[in-house]
Structure 1
Amino acid sequence: MAGASPSPDAPASPVPAPLLERPADLKLFLRTLPALPGVYRMKDASGTVLYVGKARDLGKRVRSYFRRNLPSPRTAQMISRVVEIDTTTVGSEAEALLLENNLIKTLKPRFNILFRDDKTYPFLKLSAHPFPQISYYRGGTDRRSQFFGPYPSAFAVREGIQLLQKIFHLRTCEDSYFANRSRPCLLHQIRRCSAPCVGLIDEEHYRRDVNAAITFLKGGHKEILEEMEAEMQQAAGELRFEEAAVLRDRISALSRVQHQQSMEVNADTDADIIAIEQADGHVCLNLAMVRGGRHLGDKAHFPTQVGEVDQDTLASVLDAFLTQHYAGATIPGVIICAQKPQDPEMLDMLRAQAGHPVAWVQDPRASRRRWLMQAHTNAKIALTRHLAIDGSQLRRTQDLLDVLGLSLDPASLRVECFDISHTMGEATQASCVVYENNRMTPGQYRRFNIQGIEPGDDYAAMRQVLLRRYGKWAEKPDGPQPEEEARKRSDAARMPDIVLVDGGKGQISSAREVFESLGLDIGLLVGVAKGEGRKVGLETLVFADGREPLVLGGESPALMLVAQIRDEAHRFAITGMRARRAKARRVSRLEEVDGVGPRRRQRLLSRFGGLRGIMAASVEDLASVEGISLPLAESIYQQLHHSGDMR
């Protein structure tokens, strides 16, 4: 490591010269770097991380930045600001890839190209159950259930579930619902489920349908069709015409699906197709996914912090995507892309992480060439749409800056908006949404549970949320801070340029009190007072610093942007409030029952699927739950049915 981070308590010292102006120190440092895999972090004079990178050989990679002729002006600009380089060695190339991705997402370095964090891609899940359930799943996988994917979007997963319902009649209901059915549900009546919950199909025949669905998901369309056709002929020959008709309908549905979705006949290929397009200084990377020969859809990504777009930039975009997308994700056996990664070690790292061979196809043939051409076409369409939306947002942002008299770059404007939501004072929750880089940034949204106030007191709720959100800035010490302190403040990387409050004079007065007590600029505060009948376009902007209220009119681009941000804050607050209220109502009634602790409460909920199922259960049903005796079951029944209506 070259140097140490300055302590906030240390006396002020001159800003150290960049490493390039200290050749003796630089040569000594470069000689000490190990020839091991790891991650390096380049920092400026204030200790801010400028760039995070990985390497199979740390010494070789870091030394390559200090050649006389750097290939990229962007790299040269970064190196001219570097004062300090930290390194971390790891056990393998795959670990380096994962660590680099985590640091990029945590630190968001200025010179790294960033892709929006989509958490994880969704899967289609078949549960570990005698009658497996098909469901949408997002998160870490385990060995008990079977997972298929990943899919590029939630829509693609749900479309896949609908197909399996139509063709194989697999159940989608939760296990608790499945265990307590007494008659078939609507899905059975519309021929989307074979109703194993009430014994209309036995385990052997249901398992056969599950195995056929698994074969289908793995690309074995031809085998399934042949098997179904043989079964249909046999059923017809044995005069089981109703069963033959069901198989005929399944064959027809499967044939349509194969025609519409199969990208390669009778293939079991798993592949990712990556297409990169650029226009007007913007870049779109489109990822298409093929699993089992079936096209699962594609997803367009628009990286940030790209800078000037040229061929080197496009190669850097590809490397950044591979690092951030495949860290901890499933890596297919084939990646198709018209260009190769810029980093010569990237493919080795992907193979090490995947644990199997990964083929990079740069010049595909036959059907694979059609896949790549289609991916490029979709990338161009997505980029055109993005530019149109981005241009509209840019105009709205610039108009808002003009209206408020702010001289800022529209791309640098940061707006935070607050809203309060509750039902008759119950489950009060505040939301904070963020608008930055000309778009809403959901990754920075926050919810605050409001406590210790009089129910329904919106002004007190607003004071509490603003104190909690901005109190840290009033306490912020001067001077550079260690990385640990910077990470603690990562939820609010900097003070916003505008703080929107959903409300009029009362809410703005509450907000002003908080800002004055914290010593913050009250000129940032803007209230959005609803117009007559709460009609959009009649809002009035109210200011905390004494400026006259503004009525912009329904055609104002600035008001359209304000309304967009305000409505998003309201949506985010009300969904959180409803979830909190539902959770409180669902649990609170059981918590009031004497003799039922957390363990028994969990067993009851697992057995009956929720409070409504418990309410519908008889004393004998309650007593069948482990840990609940007959007298306790009678007591539970009496308390639930004679202590008021179910909330």
Structure 2
Amino acid sequence: MPANEKLKEKISHLPHKPGIYKFFDDNGIIYVGKAVDIRKRVSSYFNRSAQHNKKTLKLVSQIKDIEFTIVDTEADAFLLENNLIKQYQPKYNILLKDGKTYPYICIVNERFPRVISTRNKKNDGSRYFGPYPSGTTMHVVLDLIRTLYPLRTCTYNLTPENIAAGKFKVCLEYHIGNCKGPCEALVDEAEYNANIAQIKNILSGNLSVAKAYFKEHMAAAAADYQYELAHKFKQKLDMLEDFQAKSTVVSNTLTNIDVFTITSNEQCAFINYLKVMNGSIILTQSLELEKKLDEDDTDILASVIVQLRQEFESTSREVITNIELRLPLDNVTITYPQIGDKKKLLSLSLKNALYLRKEREGRQEKNKEMSEQRELRVLETLKKDLRLTELPRQIECFDNSNFQGDNPVASMVCFKNGKPSKKDYRHYNIKTVVGPNDFESMYEIVTRRYRRLLDENQPLPQLIIIDGGKGQLGMAVKALRDLNIYGKIAVVGIAKRLEEIFYPGDSLPLYIDKKSESLKLIQRLRNEAHRFAITFHRSKRDAGTLKTELTDIKGIGLSTADALLQKFRSVKKLKDLTLDELAAEIGKAKASILYAHLHPAEGENA
């Protein structure tokens, strides 16, 4: 059964239930999707081809197999899709896969806990806070903690027995006031742990407990006439308030909220995420994602919300967005505020997303202008070096390829404005020349190329480059003369050995500076034409080998070999077919003959 028939058969048996589906090519998973109704969603890829863009049509053309998983609810499908995308990273899914590991602040699970930074979160009983969007953000918080509270930084095993035995001595950190010396029992464990409790509150976004503590102790010290101590508490209180002020305070009435906004163009989506806790923005992250299948904003944002909430361990019950979307997550409410503090918060996030878009598009436009300027400079240099009368905005290069005279082919590559224009590349089977005759082959392909352009009233190039010496160049000139266009197009040849440039009728070659940008452009054209010709020649040679192998089998004729060759391309793919699949292609009788030839061991064991 042909591959497309297999897929149709499989699709007809897909369930009308929620779940996920996976598309495979020959190498593995290329796309993972979710659906409320698996069969309807998968069928839409194959039944509505007129409505699909080029990217989706390319995806569909590569699908060789389909798998699915049924789940209980749409929410389960949503989460499973997200997990599978992260696991397999299919090439047609939008991915958050920059390989980044975000930093955490860790309160280590030990006696007299240390507070450290880490990018490696473990299940070791320690308490992790974050992740933070950058190391800079994390270090700002960590420095505040270490300034407010004297904590140990050593890795000593501070068991009661070790401390009582006097195994440790205080270090410089104790003498400069950064540690209170738990290694020599100079600080009470309960007091140390009280500081750790306040640190946990601060790292959780709740600064009120620590502020109340410092206010209370500042007042008590002042009442007891300990003004120096009271001043120290006042300094720490000021640090906390300054830190809170720098964390954008949205509103005292707002609690924990996630804010997501999106804006997009044809190529990319730009997303901003704000994480709000206790009325303050504690995290902001902006992302640029390349579109893979012309996905709409609702699909992109829904997927990103799930991934970022998992990445940054958000437990907020409310998500604010600038577009309406369905987010099937339990105990999560989606809102689209129109007024008030939430609207201001949404506007702030959208401003960040729009800024990212403007910045990226501006950079792309600048890069495009710089690229165009560079290309123009190279073309101007080429015009000068080759003494051309006009700027070579369209250049075409020809090359021949044959293997000991067999399967002669040729190629033409086209560069426009200094860049490959692959839609204008052409392969040629040599039709009028017998045997390995590069000169006559060059005459044929140049004639065919420009006769067609003239017949179709298409614009001619400003420069033709012939990959070869004087002989090939002479035949190209003859072809142009016979078409009455010689003199209308500049034509040169390039000899491989010394990179010599030959002009028609000039016995002495031109040598261009080896470092010249114009020579590098000519070499790019020559190498691309050679690559294009060799690739075509190999495929044709391999096809000829396969055809010969098939026609050598008694009972398999040329037309049968051609049909199999056109569809399967290799013996390996034919061997992978079952007898029934071969029979569907060429009939039972021929299929039996071919199958026996391809699987001789099975015949011996029968």
Counterpart pick for 1:146 among 121, 127, 142: 127
1:338 CA displacement: 1.0
**Which whole-Å CA distance do the structure 2 matches of 1:162 and 1:234 have between them?**
27
Instruction: Tell me the distance in 2 between the aligned counterparts of 1:59 and 1:187.
Output: 68
The whole-number CA distance in structure 1 between the counterparts of 2:112 and 2:124 is: 17
**1:89 alignment partner in structure 2:** 69
Of the three residues 316, 319, 322, the one matched with 2:299 is 316
Distance apart, 1:159 and its partner CA: 1.4
The 1:177/1:279 distance shift into structure 2, 3 A limit, reads: farther
Given the superposition, is the C-alpha separation of residues 61 and 279 from structure 1 closer, same or farther in structure 2, using an over 3 Å criterion? closer
AA in 2 matched with 1:337: T
Query: CA offsets per residue over residues 152-200 of structure 1, 9 Å max, x none?
Result: 22222111111222333444x25249998734445973x6555545555
Query: Quick one: which amino acid aligns to residue 104 of structure 2?
Result: F
Contact 2:267 2:290 in 1 (8 A): no
Distance 1:157 1:71, change over 3 A: farther
Partner deviation per Cα, 1:376-403 (whole Å, 9 max, x = no partner): 1122222333334444555677789999
Partner of 2:583: none
Matches within 5 A, 1:441-590: 550=515
Whether 2:350 is the aligned partner of 1:385: answer no
CA deviations 1:612-633 (Å, max 9, x no partner) are: xxxxxxxxxxxxxxxxxxxxxx
Check the 8 A contact 1:35/1:58 in 2, yes or no. yes
RCO higher in structure (CA 8 A, sep ≥6): 1
In structure 2, the residue corresponding to 1:302 is in which secondary structure?
strand
**Cα displacement (A) at 1:226:** 2.8
Separation in structure 1 between the aligned mates of residue 270 and residue 155 of structure 2, nearest angstrom: 42
**1:236 aligned onto 2:201:** no
SS of the aligned residue for 2:341 comes to helix
How far is the alpha carbon of 1:550 from its aligned partner? 2.8
Aligned to 1:32: 13
Q: Distance in 2 between matches of 1:96 and 1:174?
A: 47
Report the counterpart of residue 232 of structure 2 in structure 1. Answer: 246
Cα pair distance change 1:323/1:247, threshold 3 Å: closer
Deviations 1:69-121 (A, max 9, x none): 98764686357526434214266667755654455456554432233434443
Alignment CA distance shift 1:83-1:386 (3 Å): closer
Query: SS where residue 115 of structure 1 aligns?
Result: coil
Distance (Å, rounded) in 1 between the aligned partners of 2:185 and 2:253 = 36
CA contact (8 A) 2:7 2:64 kept: no
Q: Distance in 2 between matches of 1:340 and 1:195?
A: 56
Amino acid at match of 1:112: N
- Supply the AA of the counterpart residue of 2:66: D
Q: Are the counterparts in 2 of residues 98 and 328 from structure 1 also a CA contact under 8 Å? A: no
- The more displaced of 369-378 and 114-123 is 114-123
2:157 and 2:363 map into 1 onto residues whose CA distance is: 44
SS of 2:348's equivalent in the other structure is helix
What's the TM-score, normalizing by structure 2? 0.53
TM superposition shift of 1:29: 2.7
Which of 90, 96, 100 does residue 115 from structure 1 map onto? Answer: 96
Letter in 2 for 1:550: K
Corresponding residue for residue 339 of structure 1: 323
2:350 to 371, 376, 380: 376
Kept in 2: contact 1:184–1:198 (CA 8 A): no
How far apart, in 1, do the equivalents of 2:83 and 2:378 lie?
38
Q: CA deviation at 1:232?
A: 1.6
| Partner Cα separation in structure 2 for residue 338 and residue 266 of structure 1 | 22
Write the letter of the residue equivalent to 1:245.
H
State how far apart, in whole Å, the 1-side matches of 2:334 and 2:199 are.
30
From the CA coordinates, give the structure whose radius of gyration is larger. Answer: 2
In 2, distance between residues paired with 1:286 and 1:95? 25
State the partner residue of 1:287.
273
Q: Contact 1:218/1:292 (CA < 8 Å) preserved in 2? A: no
Aligned residue runs from structure 1 range 53-132, under 5 A: 53-55=33-35, 57-65=37-45, 68=48, 73=53, 77=57, 81=61, 83-89=63-69, 97=78, 100-101=81-82, 103-105=84-86, 108-132=89-113
SS in 2 for 1:247: helix
Give the distance between the partners of 1:401 and 1:235, measured in 2 at CA. 74
What residue in structure 2 maps to residue 137 of structure 1?
118
Q: Does 1:182 align with 2:169?
A: yes
SS at match of 1:290: strand
- Partner residue in 1 for 2:187: 201
CA distance, structure 2, for counterparts of residue 358 and residue 277 of structure 1: 23
Q: Report the CA distance between 1:255 and its aligned residue.
A: 1.7
Amino acid across the alignment from 1:152: P
Give the distance between the partners of 1:148 and 1:141, measured in 2 at CA. Answer: 12
Q: Deviations over 1:27-66 (max 9, x none)?
A: 643342235554322346x567542213455335434545
Distance, in Å, in 1 between the alignment partners of 2:175 and 2:374 is 54
- Do 1:40 and 1:85's aligned partners in 2 also have CA atoms closer than 8 Å? no
After superposition, the Cα gap between the structure-2 partners of 1:141 and 1:391, relative to the gap in structure 1 and judged at 3 Å, is: farther
Structure 2 alignment gaps of length 5 or more: 380-495, 497-510, 518-606
C-alpha distance in 1 between matches for 2:248 and 2:89: 39
Judging changes above 3 Å, is the alpha-carbon distance between structure 1 residues 107 and 170 closer, same or farther for their aligned structure 2 residues? same
Letter paired with 1:124: I
1:290, distance to aligned residue in structure 2 (A): 2.4
Give the TM-score normalised by the residue count of structure 1.
0.50
User: What amino acid maps onto 1:330 in structure 2?
Assistant: E
Which shows bigger deviation, 73-82 or 274-283? 73-82
Q: Is the 8 A contact 2:59 2:92 kept in 1?
A: no
Preserved contact between residue 275 and residue 281 of structure 2 (Cα < 8 Å): yes
Count, aligned residues: 379
Distance 2:515 2:12 in 1: 63
The answer (yes or no) to whether the contact 1:220–1:267 under 8 Å persists in 2 is no
1:371 Cα deviation after fit: 1.9
Distance 2:375 2:83 in 1: 35
Q: Secondary structure at the match of 2:259?
A: strand
Separation in structure 2 between the aligned mates of residue 385 and residue 192 of structure 1, nearest angstrom: 43
Match of 2:258 among 245, 269, 272: 272
Aligned to 1:225: 211
The change in CA–CA distance for 1:326 and 1:284 in structure 2 (over 3 A counts) is same
SS of 1:81's equivalent in the other structure is helix
Match of 2:313 in 1: 330
> In 1, distance between residues paired with 2:100 and 2:146?
28
Change (3 A) 1:281 1:398: same
Q: Distance in 2 between matches of 1:116 and 1:83?
A: 23
Alpha-carbon contact 1:270-1:291 (below 8 Å) kept: yes
Aligned to 1:147, the other structure's residue is in SS state strand
- Deviation, 1:268, is 7.9
- Percent identical residues: 24
